[in-house]
């Protein structure tokens, strides 16, 4: 939440202090493309809480250079194609000054290209994929959260201390974020002595993980690493418990795997 508020304050100030913006009157319009429905709705809700709180605080203090902040939300459904359509709408119709909120890493990469075409800036507070600020980096895209490589370095250190030289099995969502997080953690874990014994990638919004369980059992891992998130975490963890796979392994994951919203459902 602090991270999102800090981002909001910085981006609002950036919008206000630019030459054209300084000469304008009326609200500073911030477009928010974030998942309000679907698998990542809980994460999108966290984005909304942070931005709404920041806007209330800033507006209550008189705004930025006397201008109020206006947030305009669009549901990206954790779908890059939908995110592109909504971003174009915000830039071309709503005429937003800045855009934020993307969660799905594929959506962040796609919307970054939209921002470039419109000569605007976006920032993500959530997306993990290393490529966003590495090989697919755009000068119009900024990130304030820890990327996959940063998270993996810390987690691999912890695992080396608590489960030294462990056999690790990887299960990620089958898109940019999942493959990036698995690759980053595998590299960090192997550098610390861990042995990789298998990996699988499930579709986003997957309903049934049991087809992967035979492969996991055969691999006999001591640790299962996953970067599923949102509702996918609830289904995966529930099914792991139902099949007894969580009894003898340590499950570790990316920072978005367990959130305040899905924790009660995980049980």
Over residues 79-102, the pLDDT tens digits come to 999 999 999 999 999 999 999 999
Residues 137 and 65 in one domain: yes
User: DSSP class of residue 173?
Assistant: E
Residues 154 and 137 in one domain: no
Residues 99 and 165 in one domain: no
Residues 130 and 212 in one domain: no
Token reading at 190:
């192997």
Over residues 216-236, the pLDDT tens digits come to 999 999 999 999 999 999 999
**147-178 burial string, b = 16+ CB within 10 Å, else e?**
bbbebbbebbeebbeebeebbbbbbbbebbbb
Q: Are 120 and 98 spatial neighbours (Cβ–Cβ below 8 Å)? A: yes
Token reading at 96:
């937003």
Of 120, 143, 166, the position where a domain reaches its end is 143
Domain count, the chain: 2
246: domain CATH number is: 3.40.50.2300
Nearest to 4 by CA among 71, 60, 63: 71
What's the average model confidence in pLDDT over 67-90? 96
Residues 207 and 101 in one domain: no
Residue 19 has pLDDT above 50, yes or no: no
How many other C-beta atoms can be found within 10 angstroms of the C-beta atom of residue 260?
9
Query: At 21, is the pLDDT very low, low, confident or very high (cuts 50, 70, 90)?
Result: very low
Of 143, 163, 184, the position where a domain reaches its end is 143
HSE at residue 25, side-chain half, CA atoms within 13 A, is 0
Residues 131 and 178 in one domain: no
Q: What is the DSSP string of 185-227?
A: HHHHHHHTT-EEEEEEEEPTT-S--GGGHHHHHHH--SEEEE-
Residues 13 and 138 in one domain: yes
Of 89, 110, 143, the position where a domain reaches its end is 143
DSSP H helix total and E strand total for the chain: 10, 9
Q: CA of 29: how far to CAs of 9, 15, 96, 179, 229, in Å? A: 13, 9, 5, 34, 30
The whole model's pTM is what? 0.83
Query: At 53, is the pLDDT very low, low, confident or very high (cuts 50, 70, 90)?
Result: very high
Percent of the chain with pLDDT strictly greater than 90 = 79
The torsion angles phi and psi of 136, rounded to 5 degrees, stand at -110, 25
Residues 125 and 207 in one domain: no
Token reading at 257:
């795997």
Residues 118 and 227 in one domain: no
The pLDDT score that the predictor gives to residue 5 is 53
Residues 6 and 138 in one domain: yes
| C-alpha torsion sign, points 76, 82, 83, 85 | negative
The pLDDT score that the predictor gives to residue 22 is 47
Range of the domain at 177: 148-266
Q: Are 146 and 200 spatial neighbours (Cβ–Cβ below 8 Å)? A: no
Helix (H, G, I), strand (E, B) or coil at 262: coil
Helix (H, G, I), strand (E, B) or coil at 246: coil
Residues 157 and 108 in one domain: no
Residues 21 and 101 in one domain: yes
User: Mean pLDDT, the chain, as a whole number?
Assistant: 90
The pLDDT score that the predictor gives to residue 265 is 87
């Amino acid at each position: 939440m602090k991270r999102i508020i800090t981002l909001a304050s910085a981006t609002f100030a950036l919008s206000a202090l630019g030459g054209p913006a300084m000469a304008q009157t009326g609200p500073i319009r911030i477009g928010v493309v974030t998942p309000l429905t679907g698998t990542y709705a809980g994460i999108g809700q966290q984005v909304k809480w942070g931005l709404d709180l920041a806007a209330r605080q800033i507006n209550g203090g008189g705004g930025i250079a006397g201008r109020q902040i206006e947030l305009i939300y669009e549901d990206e459904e954790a779908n890059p194609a939908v995110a592109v359509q909504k971003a174009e709408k915000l830039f071309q119709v709503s005429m937003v000054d800045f855009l934020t909120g993307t969660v799905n890493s594929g959506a962040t990469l796609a919307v970054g290209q939209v921002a470039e075409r419109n000569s605007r800036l976006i920032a993500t507070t959530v997306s993990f994929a290393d490529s966003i600020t590495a090989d697919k980096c755009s000068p119009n895209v900024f990130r304030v959260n820890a990327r996959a490589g940063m998270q993996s370095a810390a987690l691999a250190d912890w695992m080396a201390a608590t489960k030294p030289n462990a056999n690790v099995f990887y299960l990620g969502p089958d898109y940019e974020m999942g493959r990036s997080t698995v690759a980053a953690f595998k590299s960090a874990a192997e550098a610390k002595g861990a042995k990789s014994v298998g990996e699988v990638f499930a579709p986003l919004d997957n309903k049934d993980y049991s087809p992967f369980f035979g492969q996991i059992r055969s691999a006999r891992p001591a640790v299962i690493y996953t970067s599923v998130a949102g509702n996918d975490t609830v289904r995966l963890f529930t099914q792991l418990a139902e099949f007894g796979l969580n009894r003898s392994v340590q499950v570790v994951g990316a920072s978005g795997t367990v959130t305040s919203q899905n924790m009660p459902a995980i049980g």
